[in-house]
């Protein structure tokens, strides 16, 4: 009776874990209140955010979720050193948020530190994998 359970446990040790298709980042002000940005990013070569949101208190503006969203991802860049994101209004007339962060290479987990420009203010932010 114990052999099937043992075989299943042994197989679980050697079988690869299921791959997660997406991941993301959350960027928050380092000190004090302010907007935060969340990003959904696929796990792939040259992956770019496919969805982003600006969170301000109870208000949330989502980009690239469905047609008619109030903001869109104008451009973005993620590599081993940088995490950059430009969010603009749906018509592309004004910036809603600009994120510029650099990954800290001496830290074990992906952490990026930089700035978030939103509403005429600049916030120092820390972005962590979410």
- The domains of the chain are located at 20-129
Burial 117-128 (b: 16+ CB within 10 A, else e): bbeeeebebbbe
Q: Say what the pLDDT of residue 14 is.
A: 35
Burial 76-85 (b: 16+ CB within 10 A, else e): bebeeeebbb
Show pLDDT as tens, one digit a residue, over the chain (130 residues).
Answer: 454 443 343 333 333 333 445 578 899 999 999 999 999 876 555 555 678 999 999 999 999 878 888 999 999 888 889 999 999 999 999 999 999 999 998 777 779 999 999 999 999 999 998 7
| Token output for 28 | 């928050």
Its pTM stands at 0.76
């Amino acid at each position: 009776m114990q052999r099937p359970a043992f075989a299943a446990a042994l197989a679980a040790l050697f079988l690869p874990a299921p791959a997660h298709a997406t991941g993301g980042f959350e960027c928050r002000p380092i000190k004090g209140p302010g907007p935060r940005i969340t990003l959904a990013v696929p796990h792939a070569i040259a992956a770019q955010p496919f969805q982003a949101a600006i969170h301000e208190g109870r208000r949330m503006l989502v980009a690239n979720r469905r047609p008619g969203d109030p903001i869109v991802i104008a451009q973005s860049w993620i590599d081993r050193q940088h995490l950059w994101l430009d969010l603009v209004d749906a018509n592309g007339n004004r910036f809603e948020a600009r994120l510029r962060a650099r990954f800290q290479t001496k830290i074990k987990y992906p952490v990026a530190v930089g700035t978030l420009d939103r509403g005429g203010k600049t916030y120092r932010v820390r972005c962590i994998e979410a």
